[in-house]
Amino acid sequence: MNVYCELYSCLVSAEELGKHQLTAVILSGGPNSVYEEGSPHVSKDIWAMLKEREVPILGICYGMQELAYVFGGEVSPGTKREYGKAQVKRIKGCDSQLFEGLPEEAQMWMSHADKLSKVPTGFTKIAGTDNADFVAIENTQTKMYGLQFHPEVTHSPLGPTILKNFVVTIAKAQQDWVMTDYANEFIQDVRQTVGPDGHVIGAVSGGVDSTVAAVLMNKAIGHRFHAVMVDNGCLRKDEAVNVLKRLRDKCGVDLKCVDASDRFLTLLKGVTDPEQKRKIIGGTFIDIFQEESERINEAHGGACDFLLQGTLYPDVIESISYKGPSATIKTHHNVGGLPASMKLKLIEPLRELFKDEVRELGIALGIEADSVWRHPFPGPGLAIRVLGEVTPERVAMLQEADAIMIEELHKSGHYRPIGQAFVVLLPVKSVGVMGDGRTYENVACVRCVETTDYMTADFYHLPYDVMSNMSGRIINEVRGINRLCYDISSKPPATIEWE
C-alpha cells in the first residue's frame, strides 16, 4: 500500500501520540476480554484528542470490542468460538466505503471467543457471519469502523482491499512510502548510533531475516560490521558451507563461522523443556558473541558494543505480553531468551517488519532471489525441531530427513509457494516392519504451511504423490525413522513451529 505507519502500545500517552500529524488510527487485536480487570484500554485523553482532530479509527477484533466498550455497545462471551476461516456476509443494500469492491460474501480469518452483542451508539451493522451477527460496524459521521475478523492476515484474501478502503479512500493517506526509504533511514540512524569508529557484530543464521539484516548493516558501515555464524550443532545439513558461500562470496559480507557445536550440545544434554532450550541457546549465543566482540576490539582497536539481530515483528508479538497487550506465546531466542547480563546493545533493523516486508526489503537491497525467498530457519535451529532431548544422533537423523524433504519440494515445484517447511523429530517410537523383521524406531512429522505474514498460517495441501516420495525416501534412506506424518493444523490455534 506504500503508506507510512508507526506502531504504538495502547499505553502511549496523548502527549506522545499528539506530536504526530495523525491521518488515521487502527486499534489492533489482542487476547483479553474488554471487561476483564487489567484489560488494556485507550486513555480518555487519547479519545478526546482523536475526536477533536476528527481522526478516522478502525478497530480490529479486540479493537472493535474496545469501540463497543467506550461508545455504549455490549460484548458477550460467544457460545461458539471462531478460530480460522469464516464467510463474512454483507447486509442487503450495504454501500459502505469500507467494503467497496468486495462481493456480497468473502472469506476472512477469525480468532475470537467474545463477540459483539449490541452495536455502540451511532454505529450500524454492515456484515455478519453464521456465528456472529455483528462482525463489521460503522459510524460514518465520526468515521469509526469496527471489524471482528482480521483483514491484515494472509488468510483473509480480500482483507487488503478493506484496509486500503479505510487507509486511502476514507482516511486519505498518501501512498508515497517505499522500502528504500526504510533502508536509507536505517543506514543514517545506525551510522549516528555506532559513530565513525564503532564496530558491530552480527548474528547470522542463514535465514532470510539475518541475511537481509546483515546486507543492510554492511551497506551502512562496511568493514566495521562483522557477521558471525555460530554452528550450534543444530544447523541444517551443509548449512554453514552454503551460508558462507552466499553471504561472504556473493554479498561481500565479512562473515566468520564459529564451530561451537560441542559446547551447545553439552549444555543441552538432558534438557527437554522447549523454553529452557531456547534460553540456554540464547544465553550461549550471547556469550559467544561477547567473546567475538572482545576479539574484534583487540584486532581493530575500536569499540564493538553492538549486536545486530534479525528480529521480526511477529517475534516481538509472540514473545512480549501486556502489560504489553499481546499474550506471551513462546520465548524467541532473539527477544525474550536473552540474558539480563548481556553487555552488547541490540540493533534490530527488522523489528517492525513482517516477513513479506523483509523480502521486499531484500529485493530492494539487490539480494538474489534464492536467498530472499528462502524459508525461515529459527535461530535455535534444529534444537527446537528435535522434540525432547537433543543429542548428536537425533540431530544427524533430522538433518538427513530435512534435506530429503527440501530436495523433494524443489524437485516437485512446491518449495516457492510454501511459506515454511520443515521436519520435526518426535519423542515417540512406533512399531514397523522392514525386511520381514520388526522395527521399533522414531516417528517424524513434516510441516508445510501457506503464509506470507507468519501471524496466521494454514497447512499446505501437498499432493499425495509428493508426500509418498518424501515418505518412501526418508524411511528408506534415514536410519532410525520408520514412520512419517503430515501436520494439518493451522495457526491459530497451533503455532508454525512445534516448540
Active-site residue, selected from the candidate residues 10, 82, 112, 150: 150
112 catalytic residue (yes or no): no
Whether residue 40 contacts residue 202, with contact meaning beta carbons closer than 8 Å, is answered with no
Residue 25's φ and ψ, nearest 5 degrees, are -130, 135
Distance CA 256, CA 240 (A): 10
3-state secondary structure of 158: coil
The amino acid that residue 255 corresponds to is L
Q: Are the C-beta atoms of residues 39 and 31 closer than 8 Å to each other?
A: no
Strand pairing class (74-90; 124-128): antiparallel
Exactly one of 61, 251, 257, 448 is catalytic; name it.
61
**Of 66, 82, 138, 152, which one is the catalytic site residue?**
152
Is 5 part of the annotated catalytic residue set?
no
CA 303, 241, 376, 164 dihedral sign is positive
Q: What distance lies between CA 129 and its chain's CA centroid?
A: 28
Residue of 109, 112, 9, 113 whose CA lies nearest to 455 = 109
Q: Give the chain's length.
A: 499
d(Cα 405, Cα 410) in Å, to the nearest integer? 9
Place of cell 548428536: 392
- CA–CA separation, 414 and 431 (whole Å): 31
- In terms of Cβ atoms closer than 10 Å to its own Cβ (0-12, 13-18, 19+), residue 214 is buried
Is 10 noted as a catalytic residue in this protein?
no
Burial class (CB within 10 angstroms; exposed 0-12, middle 13-18, buried 19+) of 41: middle
Distance from the Cα of residue 427 to its chain's centroid: 26
Supply the DSSP string of 283-318, one letter for each residue: HHHHHHHHHHHHHHHHHHSS-EEEEE----HHHHHH
Which amino acid does the sequence have at 223? H
Interior CA angle at 278 toward 205 and 373, to 5°? Answer: 30
Record the cell numbers describing residue 491, joined without a space.
495457526
Cα atoms found within 13 Å of the Cα of residue 406, Cβ hemisphere only: 18
CA distance 456 to 152: 10
Residue 489 near residue 470 (C-beta atoms within 8 A): no
Q: Which three cell numbers stand for residue 211?
A: 541475511
Please classify residue 249 by burial: count the beta carbons closer than 10 Å to its beta carbon, then call 0-12 exposed, 13-18 middle and 19+ buried: exposed
**Phi and psi at residue 449, in whole multiples of 5°?**
-130, 150
As annotated, the active-site residues are 61, 150, 152
